[in-house]
Structure 1
Amino acid sequence: MNNDLPISDRAARESAETTFDRNVVVVAGAGTGKTTLLVNRLVYLLMKEPAPVPITQVVALTFTNKAATEMKVRLRERLAVLTHPQADPTRSSDGGAVSCSDLQARYRLSAGEIAARARAALNDIEKAQIGTLHSFAAHVLRLHPLESGVDPDFKEDDGLRFEEQFTAAWDCWLDQELSRAGQRHHLWRSVLSSATLEAVKALARSLCNELVDLGTLQQQLARPAVTPAISSWIRLMEDRTNQLMNAYDRPKRRKVEHMLAATGSVMRLVAEKGLPGRQDLTSSEREWLDKDLGNAVSEWEKSDFKEAAALIRTAQQLLSVDHAFLNELLTLLLPLVRSIRETFSRQGWLSFDGLLARARTLLFEHPSVRERIKRDYRAVLVDEFQDTDPVQYEIILAVSERQGSRADVWHDMLLEPGKLFIVGDPKQS
């Protein structure tokens, strides 16, 4: 390998590109060559000894079509160069890209073997899953249309088609609901006394997103008790509230201390009794939490005041939760929302969020499919990992799970050693 490249972290980069016995996380900022590093790792996967990985058994993902196209173009260019080893430049003249001499030095391959593997990869590159997570989700769904419940010829909607359908369905439904023949005028009177029609419409649109689990939402609203996990979280906030009060409270309280004391009461009551515990809050405490906190006070550290403000906002939000009102809204909207979802799918359309929601469901509810997909893909590489949301995260981990193991929740998963490689920049998150 050429050693004249003036990069201080050369050894770390090389390790990230060529370590295959464990999973690798690369944290790096913008402009540091993350994509080059990822493409280099792809090349090493295709060439490594022993057990090179065919390009059709690699998943390489990023989060925009532009970034995915750049990744594929750069890999194609690198493979094209490697098919002609005699013309292959070194890293120093090619921005750090892996060269034929690098591969020969590491794996003792001949120039002919490298060229043959590069040509094979080039021939199959369009079959490889190098693209966006949404495109990979679409591929998985089309492979398993029966299990995922989709038309294998479904079309991916960028939002325009859904907007047309939602608007038409909403207008027709609203005319029926508010007409003289409507059967739920009493519900509408109650809902519209607290919310505008535009707000109700916005909620209906949001509920049409397939990432929203309507069944779980109904269950959560049906029981006002908070889950153990949320109760523990509220207890932690209560503890922090008490710590701040101990540090800043004084006999003649200012607004922030009054509001923080009321916040502590809300946290304690909800943690102990669930949402019904809010009824035990005193009228004075409610009045303090109805106020606006205002600007920081001089005796408080800025960071502590900022944290106190966040705790107070959380308490105010807990007080604003109205289960009865939300249940009335859902009673009104769920038939419409389910109808729109079913019609959209029946017409052969899937939204981008629908792709992810159905792929996640497929992987977690069909163990045989998940095992097959885990077996089919031996390497998973993800660029811009800071952009993942929880559903995307679960899909990536499910595909990277160890063969033969199966967990129903992502944090119990055992990952295949060396299968997952992720690159990200937390500062861009």
Structure 2
Amino acid sequence: MSEQLLDGPARDRIKTDTDATLFVEAGAGSGKTHALVDRVTTLVLRDGVPLRTIAAVTFTEKAGAELRDRLRVEFEKARKGPAGPLADEALDDLDSASIGTLHAFAQQLLLAHPIEAGLPPLIDVLDEVGSSVAFEERWAELQQQLLDDDSIAEPLLLAMAVGVELKHLRSLARLFGNDWDLIDERVLVDPPELVAMPDLTGLIAAAAQLGGAVDSCRDPEDRLLPKLHAIRDLGVMLEAATDQESQLSYLQALRGLKVGKIGRKENWPDVAKMRSDCAEVVEVAGSLVELLLDACLRHLSHWIAERVLESAEVRRAEGRLEFHDLLVLARNLLRRDASVRSALHERYERLLLDEFQDTDPIQIELAVRIAAGADGDAPDWQDVEVPDGRLFVVGDPKQSIYRFRRANIATYLTAQDLLGETVTLTTNFRTVPPVLDWINHVFSTLIQPQEAAQPTYHALTPHRTTTPTTA
């Protein structure tokens, strides 16, 4: 059938050119699962690559189960042909084959090398519910430590004085936990500076000057007058305050004043200047609050980040891991241990990555370092040389929707540039021509290529020629 399709040569190459590293861009409905099945069956039945030495990483457990079922059908068919012994061997290996999600694959790597990974022989992997319960337990303990630690008391009190609540810090702790491997390079780079109240002399003087202007108002009912009284009174309280918490609360009150265009022209010598001066005081107060709040949050972030890392280390030592722990520990293991890379290079002759546009960037680093073996020790995975044919990647950048889970289109495009050759599947087996015509017209207009941000749009070609009718 592939000879009759416009992308037939690409499909034939996916199936037969198993000595090449290919990066397949598969449009919606283009039969990428079928392409994966073709690739694996060729590797097993023609090239004699044992199925147990092939790893196929899918985005979901459902996709992994579908791929496994389709392979079973193909191997059952092949049992009656000349490749029967190879098909029988593949069927024996199928249930235990490395076909599944990225997290399941990372867990296999760690279970194969627990000592090198610094893990106990048996590990327990928490599901999403278990991880949520464990986080709540960690947060309860962390919250108590936060309230009891005198070293963080001042930044905490100042932050709470301007509206930061414990629930906000809880959210921060959860976000840090989701990406704890980035904490060292992005949060703990430099120790935070001391929290100190900025110089308030100029602001206090400006508030007093505005307070003195109340006598120039010709109408005691003018709506701008109460604003001047409020600025004057807050300035007086700000000057008299003896602690930073009180000062910050007065600054916050100043920041919250809204002046706008109130005040009548005939009631003031220069109402526009009066409004402008009031707005400037409010703006300066807001800037001072932001400066102090930033310093406080840096301290709190640093404090929380250190303890999130400590929690990750405890989970590793106890072998009680969460999904993200699996990825980070597997990546760290492959980065530092040449013998493990060499062993996994021998174990996995071929690696196939599905739905690459929506997976964690750690996935490509795991695959590249395994494919390279002992030589894959470059600090940056992009500098690792991958032997031909070891990797096969499938994805569709137009369907990348999981940025909140660290999927990054820039990583996709970088990998596409570095790994092998790109082949494109454009025949759509799912959609009727009128719909595809509209999609191609709209998407070709909206999707314009941008370096490291937006790939080129490849128009889809319909395979279906008629619209189904209903009785």
Which residue of structure 1 aligns with residue 56 of structure 2?
60
How far apart, CA to CA, are the structure 1 residues paired with 2:393 and 2:138? 42
The 3 A distance-change label for structure 1 pair 402 and 212 is: closer
Which residue of structure 1 aligns with residue 71 of structure 2?
75
Please show how residues 257-296 of structure 1 align to structure 2 within 5 Å: none
- Asked if 2 retains the 8 angstrom alpha-carbon contact of 1:84 and 1:115, the reply is yes
Do residues 120 (structure 1) and 89 (structure 2) align?
yes
Which residue of structure 2 aligns with residue 17 of structure 1?
15
How far apart, CA to CA, are the structure 1 residues paired with 2:72 and 2:23? 24
Cα offset, 1:47, TM superposition: 2.2
The 3 A distance-change label for structure 1 pair 398 and 218 is: same
The 3 A distance-change label for structure 1 pair 203 and 393 is: same
Do residues 185 (structure 1) and 153 (structure 2) align?
yes
The 3 A distance-change label for structure 1 pair 223 and 366 is: farther
Which residue of structure 2 aligns with residue 353 of structure 1?
324
Let me know the Cα RMSD of the aligned residues.
2.8
Which residue of structure 1 aligns with residue 207 of structure 2?
none
Equivalent of residue 37 in structure 2, options 36, 39, 45:
39
Equivalent of residue 381 in structure 1, options 352, 355, 380:
352
How far apart, CA to CA, are the structure 1 residues paired with 2:13 and 2:347? 26
For residue 351 of structure 1, what is the amino acid of its counterpart? Answer: E
- Asked if 1 retains the 8 angstrom alpha-carbon contact of 2:369 and 2:381, the reply is yes
- Asked if 2 retains the 8 angstrom alpha-carbon contact of 1:403 and 1:416, the reply is no
Please show how residues 230-269 of structure 1 align to structure 2 within 5 Å: none
- Asked if 1 retains the 8 angstrom alpha-carbon contact of 2:368 and 2:376, the reply is no
Structure 2 residue matching 1:328: 3-state secondary structure:
helix
Do residues 154 (structure 1) and 150 (structure 2) align?
no
- Asked if 2 retains the 8 angstrom alpha-carbon contact of 1:382 and 1:421, the reply is yes
Equivalent of residue 185 in structure 2, options 180, 205, 216:
216
For residue 125 of structure 2, what is the amino acid of its counterpart? Answer: E
For residue 59 of structure 2, what is the amino acid of its counterpart? Answer: F
TM-score by length of 1: 0.65
Do residues 413 (structure 1) and 411 (structure 2) align?
no
- Asked if 2 retains the 8 angstrom alpha-carbon contact of 1:65 and 1:132, the reply is yes
For residue 183 of structure 2, what is the amino acid of its counterpart? Answer: L
How far apart, CA to CA, are the structure 1 residues paired with 2:156 and 2:100? 46
Cα offset, 1:138, TM superposition: 0.2
Which residue of structure 2 aligns with residue 397 of structure 1?
368
Cα offset, 1:343, TM superposition: 4.1
Q: Which moved more, 1:6-15 or 1:319-328?
A: 319-328
Which residue of structure 2 aligns with residue 258 of structure 1?
none
Which structure 2 residue ranges, 5 or more long, are not aligned? 194-289, 401-471
Structure 2 residue matching 1:401: 3-state secondary structure:
helix
For residue 128 of structure 1, what is the amino acid of its counterpart? Answer: A
Which residue of structure 1 aligns with residue 393 of structure 2?
422
Structure 1 residue matching 2:30: 3-state secondary structure:
coil
Cα offset, 1:347, TM superposition: 4.5
Do residues 198 (structure 1) and 170 (structure 2) align?
no
Structure 1 residue matching 2:95: 3-state secondary structure:
helix
CA deviations 1:143-187 (Å, max 9, x no partner) are 1111112233212212222322222332244345436x8564223
Equivalent of residue 136 in structure 2, options 167, 179, 186:
167
Structure 2 residue matching 1:68: 3-state secondary structure:
helix
- Asked if 1 retains the 8 angstrom alpha-carbon contact of 2:370 and 2:376, the reply is no
The 3 A distance-change label for structure 1 pair 11 and 185 is: closer
Do residues 330 (structure 1) and 326 (structure 2) align?
no
Cα offset, 1:372, TM superposition: 1.6
Cα offset, 1:321, TM superposition: 12
- Asked if 1 retains the 8 angstrom alpha-carbon contact of 2:180 and 2:308, the reply is no
CA deviations 1:247-286 (Å, max 9, x no partner) are xxxxxxxxxxxxxxxxxxxxxxxxxxxxxxxxxxxxxxxx
- Asked if 1 retains the 8 angstrom alpha-carbon contact of 2:25 and 2:395, the reply is yes
For residue 360 of structure 1, what is the amino acid of its counterpart? Answer: R
Please show how residues 87-126 of structure 1 align to structure 2 within 5 Å: 111=82, 114-126=83-95
Structure 1 residue matching 2:57: 3-state secondary structure:
strand
- Asked if 2 retains the 8 angstrom alpha-carbon contact of 1:63 and 1:132, the reply is yes
- Asked if 1 retains the 8 angstrom alpha-carbon contact of 2:117 and 2:329, the reply is yes
Q: Which moved more, 1:402-411 or 1:149-158?
A: 402-411
How far apart, CA to CA, are the structure 1 residues paired with 2:373 and 2:18? 15
User: What is the total number of aligned residue pairs between the two structures?
Assistant: 304
Which structure 1 residue ranges, 5 or more long, are not aligned? 86-110, 225-318
- Asked if 1 retains the 8 angstrom alpha-carbon contact of 2:350 and 2:391, the reply is yes
- Asked if 1 retains the 8 angstrom alpha-carbon contact of 2:16 and 2:42, the reply is yes
Structure 1 residue matching 2:99: 3-state secondary structure:
strand
How far apart, CA to CA, are the structure 2 residues paired with 1:403 and 1:186? 50
Cα offset, 1:392, TM superposition: 1.6
Structure 2 residue matching 1:411: 3-state secondary structure:
helix
How far apart, CA to CA, are the structure 1 residues paired with 2:365 and 2:292? 29
For residue 21 of structure 1, what is the amino acid of its counterpart? Answer: D
Q: Which moved more, 1:411-420 or 1:156-165?
A: 156-165
How far apart, CA to CA, are the structure 2 residues paired with 1:26 and 1:159? 31
The 3 A distance-change label for structure 1 pair 321 and 394 is: farther
